[in-house]
Structure 1
């Protein structure tokens, strides 16, 4: 967990949202995540550009050459009014369609809304996030960004109406270490929430099976086929998917689905299940899979945990 100066910087940005009129913790995290993701896109692009130049390779980036203003390093230096216009009219629509309109990412972003209401609030938040990520880059710890995101999620102090959101990090880490995912696994969390289990599984693989990133087939498997998460809350879908991408999974399979319903026809598709099912809330009894109703007949989700 982050401490000290970095934690204070995160709290200050949180307070900036709050005093700017955005007081719902989930909304704050969602907007915070969009901007974190936009910043990381530019940081990753700079690294790839530098690597390509060092190796003498051609590089085709994600940002159009004729629209440099889409990059954080450009718009963050604009005045508040110009920045607000660029971010709301160009940058946010750009990230919503990143990867193509039919991509998994575009599908869960289609209902995303940028709700920061004023140029002054946006300018203050952008400046705060720049300071946060500068501290992350100089921190020296391997997963400071992950710790930062975990700290943001910890501000969701109570579960949602269906018991979603977060499982404490130490419990997630313990379960992942006990299950020991491998580079060939196909992993699913049927009640993914913010995708904490999938993120932890990815970090475990980086630490214990780092060779998979040097084997093309396994690297592709990691980025496209390994991780599956299902969730019924649209906001949590976006947060979970961006959580995965902020942790280096290019195309996670995060999708809207009621895993308990008759519509879920998955059988023998996954080699490992990592989950902390909801322990609060009711379900639509009439839509529950007959296979589950043979086990118990109830309207409570936790009975199927």
Structure 2
């Protein structure tokens, strides 16, 4: 993690400061512009690596920087009225605007003079980036309104130089520490995203990567599962599911060099060992939606930088009438916005809860999105577990009766610092009955509760890495080994509660409702002994005759008190 790499942190802060002093002071605008540059750099590096891999394995690969590229506005289009001569003239005109793709590489344009570089990146490289996956692609569609607004040639030169230095440090770290380059890149991107001052607005704040890894280990997504995040932000959960699946496939293929990361999770982003068929299946498995167009672009680029060529990330309000998907996904992983509310007239009529609170509607919507037998792992504010309103109770009843509510894991309130100190919990449930199905027998038998006390990081604003893994690995191990017959000790950190008891408590899912406190018996000295100790502390070793001569002050009062208790 970057906490342990001051050099990398310093370089990233340097990059922020350059943008700030260069006139781009809005953090969200700065992160978007930096992401475009990171994407250009990564595209070049990734393309060179794919070429080298293809040469080594003998597989075909066509570089994105081979041949010529014609900007969309200059591409010849043959009309019905065009003669052959007209068409030939159009093709000749098109050739005039053709750009050698090799000149669009980061490694080529970074050597240009400042003025030329800015003009080249603005007018050629950035339009090429927007058109990268062809006119019909999702990426091109969402990049349509993206603008490159670095205003000064020297800011671009300095940013390019600093990004090159950041990549050098990342590559050195990867060699020395054996951490996958893409994971280090993920850390860098996380730190950049953490600078967005608007994080926390409308209850939106990023989920720490180690919490995403925890949730992936709990759900265990498999190749072929259709996976969604209905409020995906920069795509962290989709990436977490992707990395989990890739890691499991690498382990099954015999990878021996995988070691636990600083949080105790074994992960690799390297999908090169996947067959073309597995890679295609995985590409088609991940779906994300967000209502912020900037976050959709960031999410698309984040996933593409990790080797997912054509991510399904779309601009969509998944609570609205316009979103009609239902019973479509095997896995949903999400940290939907808290503390917001939606206009009543916009709410999808398939959502039955009588509320405008987004933290409740999102959980109901996630239930709706799951196929029968599909599993969700969702972060909610702890108020959802015990809120007394009818919508709160209805949602909890739905989770207990129409789903198999497997686990409620409470998180310490510092997990989302510095954005928020809100107390949260992870809900893990499998859909058993559809919304219109008759419930013959409630689906949940027992709910497993775990009280996370530490996540391996300090719970203050700094979130510094601590020794060990906190409770992360214990949660994974204990959850997968849970058993109603043995997890009965209510004074422990984890235990199981039968559905009947939860129903009797009005479907309250707060851990404190069922946990029993342990009262330790304390042994205290007799009052007389304590008073003697206090008197000696005041006057030292003095005999009783001398003490009797004391006429006033605290010693006199202590002596009188001792006399009263005799």
Which bin holds the TM-score, normalised by the shorter protein? over 0.9
Secondary structure (helix, strand or coil) at the match of 1:274 reads: strand
Instruction: Name 1:106's counterpart in structure 2.
Output: 140
Which SS does the other structure have where 1:289 is aligned? Answer: coil
Deviation by residue 1:145-170 (Cα, 9 ceiling, x = unmatched): 11111111122255354333512223
- What are the superposed Cα offsets for residues 158-203 of structure 1, whole Å, 9 maximum, x if unpaired? 5354333512223222212111111121100000111111111111
C-alpha contact (below 8 Å) 2:216/2:241 kept by paired residues: yes
Cα distance in 1 for partners of 2:18, 2:48 equals: 28
Does the Cα contact within 8 Å between 2:118 and 2:156 map onto a contact in 1? Answer: yes
Q: Which SS does the other structure have where 2:172 is aligned?
A: helix
The aligned residue for residue 277 of structure 2 is 217
Correspondent of 1:11 among 13, 19, 35: 13
Q: 1:50 aligns with which of 46, 49, 52?
A: 52
Distance 1:80 1:158 in 2: 32
CA shift at 1:266, angstroms? 0.9
Residues 248 and 71 of structure 1, relative CA distance in 2, 3 Å threshold: same
Report the structure number with the largest CA radius of gyration: 2
Q: Secondary structure at the match of 1:271?
A: strand
**Superposition CA RMSD, Å:** 1.8
Alpha carbons 1:156, 1:165 under 8 Å: kept: no
Q: Which runs of 5+ in 1 are unaligned?
A: none
Q: TM-score, normalised by structure 2?
A: 0.51
Q: Residues 253-268 of structure 1: matches in 2 within 5 Å? A: 253-268=312-327
Give the Cα–Cα distance (whole angstroms) in 1 for the partners of residues 65 and 245 of structure 2.
Answer: 30
Alpha-carbon distance in 2 for matches of 1:59, 1:135: 29
Report the Cα distance in structure 1 between the residues aligned to 2:348 and 2:225, rounded to whole angstroms.
Answer: 26
The runs of 5 or more residues in structure 2 that have no matched partner are 68-99, 254-270, 364-566
What whole-Å deviation, never above 9, does each CA across 1:198-256 have from its counterpart, x for those lacking one?
11111112222235853333210112x11100011100000011111111211110001
Mapping for residues 190-209 of structure 1, pairs under 5 Å: 190-209=230-249
Aligned partner of 1:20 in structure 2 is: 22
Q: What's the counterpart of residue 296 of structure 1? A: 354
The aligned counterpart of 1:146 is 186
Give the Cα separation in 1 of the matches to 2:309 and 2:333. Answer: 20
Cα-to-partner distance string for 1:76-99 (whole Å, 9 max, x where unaligned):
011111110110000000000111
Are 1:187 and 1:198, in contact at CA under 8 Å, matched by a contact in 2?
yes
Higher relative contact order at CA 8 Å, sep ≥6: structure 1 or structure 2? 1
CA contact (8 A) 2:43 2:305 kept: no
Q: Which runs of 4+ in 1 moved over 6 A?
A: none
Q: Deviations over 1:30-78 (max 9, x none)?
A: 1111111111111112123333444566652112432322000010011
- Measure, in 2, the Cα distance between the counterparts of 1:37 and 1:106: 14
Paired residues of 1:161 and 1:280 also in contact (CA < 8 A): no
Verify: 1:166 aligned to 2:166, yes or no: no
Tell me the CA shift for residue 280 of structure 1: 3.3
Are the structure 2 counterparts of residues 56 and 274 from structure 1 closer, same or farther at C-alpha, using a change threshold of 3 Å? closer
* Aligned counterparts of 1:158 and 1:89: Cα–Cα separation in 2: 30
**Using the alignment, how far apart are the partners of 1:57 and 1:277 within structure 2?**
41
Secondary structure, counterpart of 1:214 in structure 2? coil
Report which of the two has the higher share of helix: 1
1:137 to 171, 185, 202: 171
Residue aligning to 2:106: 72
Name the SS for the 2:203 alignment partner: coil
Provide the TM-score with structure 1 as the length reference: 0.93
Give deviations 1:263-305, integer Å, cap 9, x for gaps.
211112110000011013332321211121x22232x312324
Structure 2 distance, partners of 1:120, 1:233, is 31
Instruction: Give the match for residue 31 of structure 1.
Output: 33
